[in-house]
């Protein structure tokens, strides 16, 4: 069995040539994908990441479970006692859907901001800061505080 961790996202790990010009479509239009023939060089954040210790698929699953379940699992029996069996089951499924949806939105925003700023990776605080800095004009001065 191979004990070496396999990277979650596989892509080319070669640096870009200096003579290549990268174009990024900003908020004026739809996001262009590599399938579009109009854009030849689209910035791909995942292909620019050079990780010393990449996260495997199993590690990612454990991190998701830890982040979503965490210590809240200890409060579940009391929550079900107070909510009841039927409302507790449906309420738990509904809250799970909301949490998963919000995580999905956050990851999509992080990916879009990485492409716009041509950065290989961003933390969640950096995503919030850049979203406020590039968002509505009234919220731009507050970007540092939101970080």
| Eight-class DSSP state of 120 | S
pLDDT confidence of residue 90: 94
Range of the domain at 116: 84-146
> Structural domain tally of the chain?
1
Structural Rg of the chain based on CA atoms = 20
Query: Is the residue at 97 inside a domain?
Result: yes
Statement: residue 96 has pLDDT above 60: yes
pLDDT of residue 146: 86
**Do the domain assignments include residue 14?**
no
Give the model confidence (pLDDT) of 99-116 as tens digits.
889 989 988 999 889 888
> How far apart are the C-alpha atoms of 139 and 50, rounded to whole Å?
33
Give a yes or no: residue 71 inside a domain: no
Model pTM score: 0.57
Q: From the CB of residue 45, how many other CB atoms can be counted at a distance below 10 Å?
A: 20
In a domain, 136, yes or no: yes
Per residue in 118-129, pLDDT tens?
888 888 889 989
Residue 128, in any domain of the structure = yes
Structural domain contains residue 55 = no
pLDDT digits (tens, 9 = 90+) for 47-91: 777 777 777 889 888 887 887 677 777 888 888 899 999 999 999
Total Cβ atoms within 10 A of residue 130? 21
Asked whether residue 66 is assigned to any structural domain, the reply reads no
Residue 106 included in any domain: yes
């Amino acid at each position: 069995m191979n004990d070496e961790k396999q990277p979650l996202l596989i892509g080319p790990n070669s640096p870009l040539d200096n003579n290549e010009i990268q174009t990024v479509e900003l908020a004026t239009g739809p996001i262009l994908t590599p399938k579009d023939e109009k854009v030849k060089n689209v910035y791909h954040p995942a292909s620019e990441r050079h990780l010393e210790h990449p996260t495997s698929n199993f590690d990612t699953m454990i991190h998701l479970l830890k982040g979503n379940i965490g210590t809240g699992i200890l409060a579940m029996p009391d929550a079900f006692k107070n909510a009841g069996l039927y409302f507790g089951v449906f309420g738990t499924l509904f809250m799970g859907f909301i949490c998963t949806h919000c995580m999905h939105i956050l990851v999509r925003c992080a990916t879009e901001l990485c492409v716009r700023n041509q950065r290989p990776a961003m933390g969640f605080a950096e995503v919030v800061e850049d979203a406020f800095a590039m968002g509505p004009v009234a919220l731009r001065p507050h970007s540092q505080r939101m970080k």
